[in-house]
Chain A
Amino acid sequence: MRPCLVECMEQASGTGAEAAIRTRGLTRYFRTKPAVLDMGFRVERGTVCSILGRNGSGKTTTMRLLLGLLPPTRGRCWLLGEESTRLRPETRARVGYLPEGLPLRPGVRVRQLQAHQARCWKHWNPEVYRSIVHHFDIDPGSKTNQLSRGQRAGLCLALALAPEPELLILDEPTLGLDQVAHRAVLEALVHFAQQRGNTVFIATHQLHDAERISDQLIIMDGGTVRASCSPETLLCRVRAYNLIFDTAPPPRGPLKIRGLLELSRSDRSLRLVLADPDADALTRIRDLGASAVRESELGLQEAVTAFMARTRQSEAAPADTSAPLWR
């Protein structure tokens, strides 16, 4: 088993409140290939959770499973306390979704689209819609295919937020946006998160955004959850060790150290990145016979990448089977 960092998020379950999102053993195969494998996580209400991972790591499939757009092969998931495969329309109406690529029917005027959407939803707040459309400088008379990328994002966001959902699910909403539009999206998200009990679940490659707005980060790789914790926890529990070897070359072969995520070596040095190193791991590092060991902290970028570093980690992986998951 590859190392995994899962922090017990403050469990609201004890207070009887149902999580905004909960999954158990969630699995989805496409033919013989698992896109999502045995995923178990929860996102509490009133929090912002960013789901991070390389392209093809299973983020979009996870979202589609959560929304009930795709049935799981096995396992279960719940949105606002209701099983995704059996969401009632009333519950579905409490969830906003912004799919990847901002799909908008071409050739339709913004005004018409808005009128149509407003009729579709039982609840529609024109004030919310207007303020976002205004924020993105969108002319209601223009056609959807005449909008800039940033304006398309703004329009999608306005359409998703106007029904005043409690849970907002976004798939890479800031992809390819300029700085101004990017900031406007973040502002709208922070504003949404301010309302009591509102929850955001966002897939992104923008680590700087994730660090700013998230209570919780979920790092996915190869369809599984590699870490689920707060940004602070990731910063303090993922550590790098630089080992200098003055006299003898560093040991060859795989290293059997619990929590080892990443290993890189040169002639005279080793660099290890560990998730939540325990006393035993530290003893093993000391026993490698280095002439100097320096422990250092990592930035979020490095810490997150270490969990996705499949190629570099492969060297360490075979011996790592001993690591029990500490879920």
Chain B
Amino acid sequence: MAPLEIHITTGSQVPIYRQVVDQIRVAIATGELKVGQALPSVRAMAQTLLVNPNTVAKAYAELTRDGALESQQGRGVFVAQKRKVLADEERLRRLALAADRFVQECIGLGFSATELRQAVAQAVQIIRQRKVAP
């Protein structure tokens, strides 16, 4: 099984714990991380990424709260069985937020609505190709 690869970019507008959360979410969505698979310990992850261990712990805690991961006492943290943890309204709210951020950025760069739609379709295509068969 390929090791989980997370890349940290410093100097970006995205806080490091958020980068960790987002990349683990994508890895779960694409199947790179499978249900039941163990994640590296907080210590190991902090040492590999060269970041503050509390940052990793915070990222794991958020993912656990959202139901993406589950923590088993004394055994570590694992990818959780898929279940709906967030209410529909919350999911929609987050979608709107993400869309808003994306659209603002693109409009600022001078792209049209059609170009935006094409870019989204393409990005979805790329993620789908990354998806490994379950």
Q: A residues within 8 Å of B by Cβ?
A: 46-48, 183, 186-187, 190-191, 193-194, 207-208, 211-215, 231-232, 235-236, 294, 297-301
Contacts and interface: CB of A to CB of B under 8 A. Distances in A.
Nearest to A231: B15
B103 interface: no
A46 B57 CA distance: 13
Contact of A187 (B10, B16, B17, B47): B47
Main secondary structure of the interface of A (DSSP, over half): helix
Contacts of B15: 231-232, 235-236
Interface residues of B, number: 20
Contacts of B46: 190, 194
B108 A212 contact: no
A301 B15 CA distance: 12
A208 B50 CA distance: 11
Interface in B1-30: 8, 10-18
B90 to A, nearest CB: 19
A157 to B, nearest CB: 16
Given A190-B46, A211-B16, A301-B11, 6 more contacts: A194-B53, A208-B10, A213-B50, A232-B15, A232-B18, A300-B10
B52 A212 contact: yes
Contacts of B54: 46-48, 215
B91 interface: no
Interface of B: 8, 10-18, 43, 46-47, 50-55, 108
A300 B47 contact: no
A294 B109 CA distance: 13
Nearest to A242: B108
Contact of B51 (A46, A212, A297): A212
Contact of A194 (B12, B14, B47): B47
Contact of B11 (A190, A194, A207): A207
B50 A186 contact: yes
19 contacts: A46-B54, A47-B54, A183-B50, A186-B50, A190-B52, A191-B47, A193-B53, A194-B43, A194-B46, A207-B10, A207-B11, A211-B11, A212-B16, A231-B15, A235-B13, A236-B15, A294-B108, A299-B11, A301-B11
